[in-house]
Amino acid sequence: MEYPLTLAHIFERAGKYFGKVELVSRRPDKTIHRTTYGEFHKRAQKLSNALQRLGVKKGDRVATLAWNHERHMEAYFGIPLMGGVLHTLNPRLSAADLSYIMNHADDRVLLIDDVLLPVWERFKNDVHARHVVVWTHGGPAPAGFLDYEQLIEPELPSFTPQIDDEQQAAGVCYTSGTTGRPKGVVYSHRSQVLHSMSACLPDALGLSMQDVILPVVPMFHVNAWSIPFAAAMVGSKLVFPGPHLDALSVLQLLHDEKVTVAAGVPTVWIAILEALDKEPQRWNLKALRQMVVGGSAAPQAMIEGYQKRHGLHVLHAWGMTEMSPIGTICRIKPSLHSLPEADKFRVHATQGLAVPLVDVRAMAESGEAPWDGKTMGELHVRGPFIARSYFNNPVEADKFTMDGWFRTGDIVTIDPEGYVRITDRSKDLIKSGGEWISSVDLENALMGHPAVKEAAVVAVKHPKWDERPVACVVLREGAKATPEDLTHFLEPMFAKFQLPDAFVFMQAIPRTAAGKFLKSALREQLKDFKLEK
């Protein structure tokens, strides 16, 4: 029973039992590359040997700057197996953030896609990685860089894992926050194994060797929700989209590879739904049993659109970098199956129930909020794959409570059945005349209007009410809607004081590097916006 929980076990299992299972990757030139867990098992060990030869020591951070592909997967295991700490970098961040993060993590080696070298060029002078290894696509790496294939080629395909203890660090991710400096979260071998176990359970992601999984969510965003670890544990086939994350490219892969489970942020799924609505017969998605949506709130209209128009099932999940990341997943309890359809969709659009090993509570000002589906509080979480501090960052210590919980900053209600519903980020809630207004509820409702493609609601200062909601709206191509139309549409669903005071129509809503609405930018844009009294 005193067996250490380490990624070495998952890795060996993938090699022993699932050697013939495929790993499929789409290359930047759109060609398809096929390999197997068997090949991956050999090449990841070659990488471990090569990193040791480069002088990487136990505990050293090794960074990656790459899209989703099978060689990135080799790094996911090759680095932690040799005692290194996998540090995935997000190429969509600014050069200033990237250099800050690399210096803060003190990365020793960087593994990078050749197509992302222009990103590296923008911050390379501000960091000091000792070696930069390039994943090329034909031809050797440019001068001054190490070539990945040449680096691992002479090495032996076997390696004795350098893991002394399950609490050893296996990876680190930085939060792509919308304010302040990015913060590092370190995952241990033990936390990654327990997270994988929890993620695979039937009422969580429900993954198995019968599955073909396409993580659209990038491997640089909380380890693609740790799907690569979970998939290797149970032997699911993996399909990596490379840099091609547009709706048509993803749909083609779902069709060609008979994908059963795909995962991504709402933006991706909104675009895919639009493409499916235009050409419903073009793709055969019969194999696709669930689309996992998380990272920001999945609009109910989208969930309903998939189910009613295409017979496709959306699985709404919530999580955070600090949680490895899965926290809650929405599946309908059998006792709720008899609910009328409209009520069932309302439940589907909640963030769901805490997955096994995660505890949740909502804290209101007066103490723990009752599970009544009405009282709002800040969501606190705890469990064996939730961080207890940030990496070398004592400033943020107040995010962790004295009694062992992590304060998520998300404002929620929890209903009597345990379904968590996120009403807002604490900083995005709108306080008007002493009453709280949920921006998420307004956004969800607006995105149910046929002319609305996207909506983000933010608080704007008001002389009398302190703050009032203003809706920023992107209309669908060719669609029309006036502020009056939208107000009429919202009226039956909201109290009068909750309705937006104004609608601002725009071409696009600014986003964070992880594809979430960048509300701080909207607030800045609207700071001089004059509201009528």
160-179 footprint of ligand AMP as x/- string (CB under 6 A) = ---------------xx---
Candidate residues 236, 324, 351, 444; the one interacting with ligand AMP per rule CB under 6 A: 351
Query: Least Å distance between CB 330 and ligand AMP?
Result: 9
SS3 of 214, please?
strand
Would you say 159 or 406 has its CB closer to ligand AMP? 406
Binding-site member from 65, 66, 82, 222 for ligand AMP (CB under 6 A): 222
CB closer to ligand AMP, 133 vs 420: 420
Q: Nearer to ligand AMP by C-beta: 220 or 318?
A: 318
Which region holds residue 428: left if phi is over 0, alpha if psi is between -120 and 50, else beta?
alpha
Distance CA 383, CA 207 (A): 21
3-class SS of residue 469: strand
Binding-site size, ligand AMP (CB under 6 A) = 20
Check: CB of residue 474 under 8 Å from CB of residue 508: yes
Q: Does 97 bind ligand AMP (CB under 6 A)?
A: no
Label residues 486-509 b or e (16+ Cβ within 10 Å = b). Answer: beebbeeebeeebbbbbbbeeeeb
Under the criterion CB under 6 A, does residue 408 sit at the interface with ligand AMP?
yes
Nearest approach in angstroms of CB 175 to ligand AMP is 5
Judge whether 371 counts as a catalytic residue: no
By C-beta, is 178 or 188 nearer to ligand AMP? 178
Catalytic residue check, 175: yes
Select 227 or 297, whichever has its Cβ closest to ligand AMP: 297
The question of whether 269 is a catalytic residue gets the answer no
Which residue's beta carbon is nearest to the bound ligand AMP? 321
Closest separation in Å from C-beta 200 to ligand AMP:
19
410: which residues sit within 8 A by CB, 6+ positions away? 318, 378, 379, 422, 424, 425, 426
Rank residues 161 and 325 by Cβ distance to ligand AMP and give the closer one. Answer: 325
Q: Is the peptide bond before 325 cis (omega within 30 degrees of 0)?
A: yes
Instruction: Verify binding: residue 407, ligand AMP, rule CB under 6 A.
Output: no
**CB nearer to ligand AMP: pick between 68 and 408:** 408
DSSP letters, 405-468, are: -EEEEEEEEE-TT--EEEEEETTT-EEETTEEE-HHHHHHHHTTSTTEEEEEEEEEEETTTEEE
| Residue number with CB closer to ligand AMP (61 or 516) | 516
Q: Closest distance between ligand AMP and the C-beta of residue 463, in Å?
A: 30
101 contacts: CB under 8 Å, gap ≥ 6: 89, 93, 174, 182, 184
Angle between helices 439-446 and 483-490 (to 10 degrees): 110
- Residue 341: phi and psi, rounded to 5, are -55, -45
Torsion, CA 200, CA 41, CA 108, CA 102, rounded to 10: -30
Binding-site member from 9, 27, 137, 425 for ligand AMP (CB under 6 A): 425
Q: Where are the alpha helices (DSSP H) in 89-169?
A: 95-105, 117-123, 148-152
Based on the residue annotation, tell me whether 136 is a catalytic residue of this protein.
no
- Taking a C-beta distance cutoff of 8 angstroms, is the pair 169, 151 a contact? no
Amino acid at 318: W
> Which one of residues 115, 261, 422, 437 is an interface residue with ligand AMP (CB under 6 A)?
422
d(CA 208, CA 97): 37
Q: Catalytic residue among 322, 443, 454, 467, which?
A: 322
Q: How far apart are CA 47 and CA 67, in angstroms?
A: 18
Q: Which positions from 280 through 339 interact with ligand AMP, judged by CB under 6 A?
A: 294-297, 316-321, 325
Subset of 507-526 contacting ligand AMP (CB under 6 A): 514
Q: What is the dihedral of CA 93, 96, 100, 101, to 10 degrees?
A: 10
Binding mask 238-277 for ligand AMP (x = CB under 6 A): ----------------------------------------
Q: Which of 36, 64, 175, 408 is catalytic?
A: 175
Contact residues for ligand AMP, defined by CB under 6 A: 175-176, 222, 294-297, 316-321, 325, 351, 408, 410, 422, 425, 514
Q: Which residues are catalytic?
A: 175, 322, 431, 436
